Amino acid sequence: MAARAWTWLRPTWLFNRRVALALLWVLAVAGIAAGVNVVGLHVVGSIDGWERWLREHSVHFLAWRLLVYAATAYGWWWMRRRLREREPSPEAHQRLLRVEIAAVVTLVLLEGSQLLRGG
């Protein structure tokens, strides 16, 4: 009885391989970002210098983001075409449309916030 009482603390969806892999990727990306910032601070010498360097190279970062967005859009288009062939139902089309609208709104808000911050 005691073992069953604690089963609600271990939802099966949380302890599967896919979620663990996603969490590892998130941790890896966050760790790499923190590492790059620490190395940048040491190379430039100060937080002000690092912020100045980031502002001076903001065009390069914009170009990088645009390339990443283009690659993601190409991959999405390829995946969308295959999914539409596999699931031609109107419900699947509606789900895809909602995800596409959410993705575009998210990107517009992210880039708009960068623009408003002056970057």
Q: Quick one: tokens of 3?
A: 């073992």
Q: What angle do CA 20, 110, 53 make, to 5 degrees?
A: 95
Residue 111 CA to residue 10 CA, distance in Å, equals: 38
pLDDT, one tens digit per residue, over 58-101 is: 889 889 989 999 999 999 999 889 988 998 888 988 998 999 99
| pLDDT of the residue at 98 | 93
Q: Would you state the pLDDT for residue 32? A: 96
Q: Is the pLDDT of residue 119 over 80?
A: no
Task: Tell me: pLDDT of 1 over 60.
Answer: no
Provide the mean pLDDT of the chain: 86
Distance between CA atoms of residues 66 and 82, nearest Å: 24
pTM to 2 decimals?
0.63
